[in-house]
Amino acid sequence: MSAHHHSLPNLADFDLRLLRVFHAVVHNKGFAAAQDELGVSQSTISIQIGQLEDRLGMRLCERGRKGFHLTEEGQIVFDASLSLFRAVENFRGMVGSTRGQLIGEVHFGIVDAIASNQALNLHRGIGDFAALAPEVKLHINLSSPQELLQGLMEEHYHAILSPMSRLHSSVRFIPTFREQQTLYCGLGHPLFELPSRELNTEMISQHAYAGRSYMRDWQPPQEIEFRHQATASHMESIALMILSGGYLGYLPSHYAARWVEAKQMRPLLEDQLSYHEQFYLAYRKSERNRAAQAFAQCIRQQMETDPGADD
């Protein structure tokens, strides 16, 4: 890309506002999708991005019939803006803490299908934090375990709650709970009415299975070879495929309980094919955001933790 670069302007409030618009557009993967978050029209967003590009003297993103994507310069600016906003939030948090206040923002990432686990007490931890830090803006986003850990490493999140397939030396991992995953079929599936004594793993392996897109290297219990016919990245999608009667799939037992009670789902060989996933509360060891530290503490206090895991 060729461009006539002029001197960069000193950052003013106007530039920070434009950078936050840019950040929202990238986060939502386009102008139209960013309208709800920003509360302005698509044409206004387009004008603001144009203003930012003029201020910086470079093209930040391509938009048109081929969709939205960042230019190489745009990716660099976006990455730099994340560091800038984090530094601003840390500054505000440290100054607020000196004045006895918790202010700023906290970004928390979780996997889906957690709210139905009432024994977890996550909702109580969030409530404790809301009472402790009413001035802090809390953001909660859903994503896959791999994306959550990557987002934590790239400082998109202050803390995450998720199962982990790998740990990282720069991140503190606090064991919180183990979640049972059970194999289900739905009403109308050929196995739904079959007596339990007639079920076996060979029979189950012959039916279409809906797996999780982020668990490609996962080894199923009993070394059963599932017939993978569908994938999804969220539990809601897996549940829909099970309820269709066309697929088998794993769900957290607490999440599936409502459909089991309504006789719309049935667990299959629960004693043989169920397994447990270890969940962790994770945050960077270098985290300096006081509000984020307080949030993690509120969550930890409401969960069962391993006392030695934080050493």
Q: What is the mean pLDDT of residues 63-74?
A: 83
In whole angstroms, what is the distance from residue 280 CA to residue 257 CA?
23
- Taking each helix axis from N to C end, the angle separating 253-261 and 235-243, rounded to the nearest 10 degrees, works out to 30
pLDDT in tens, 6-53: 556 666 778 888 888 898 888 888 888 888 888 888 889 989 999 998
Mean pLDDT of 117-143: 91
- HEC assignment per residue over the chain: CCCCCCCCCCCCHHHHHHHHHHHHHHHHCCHHHHHHHHCCCHHHHHHHHHHHHHHHCCCCEECCCCCCEECHHHHHHHHHHHHHHHHHHHHHHHHHHHCCCCCCEEEEEECCCCCCCHHHCHHHHHHHHHHHCCCCEEEEEECCHHHHHHHHHCCCCCEEEEECCCCCCCEEEEEEEEEEEEEEEECCCCCCCCCHHHCCHHHHCCCEEEEECCCCCCCCHHHCCCEEEEEECCHHHHHHHHHCCCCEEEEEHHHHHHHHHCCCEEECCHHHHCEEEEEEEEEECCCCCHHHHHHHHHHHHCCCCCCCCCC
Mean pLDDT within 207-219: 89
pLDDT of residue 311: 35
Percent of the chain with pLDDT over 70: 91
User: In this predicted structure, what is the pLDDT of residue 32?
Assistant: 86
What's the pLDDT score for residue 35?
A: 87
12-26, 79-93, 117-131: the lowest-pLDDT one = 79-93
What pLDDT score was predicted for residue 1? 42
Structural domains of the chain, with CATH: 13-83 (1.10.10.10), 97-177+278-301 (3.40.190.10), 178-277 (3.40.190.10)
216 or 198, greater pLDDT: 198
What pLDDT sits at residue 34?
86
pLDDT of residue 215: 83
> What pLDDT shows up at residue 6?
54
Q: How far apart, in whole angstroms, are the C-alpha atoms of residue 16 and residue 45?
A: 14
Identify the pLDDT of residue 98: 60
What pLDDT, on the 0 to 100 scale, is given for residue 160?
96
Region 246-274 average pLDDT: 97
Q: Cα torsion for 203, 205, 208, 214, to the nearest 10°?
A: 150
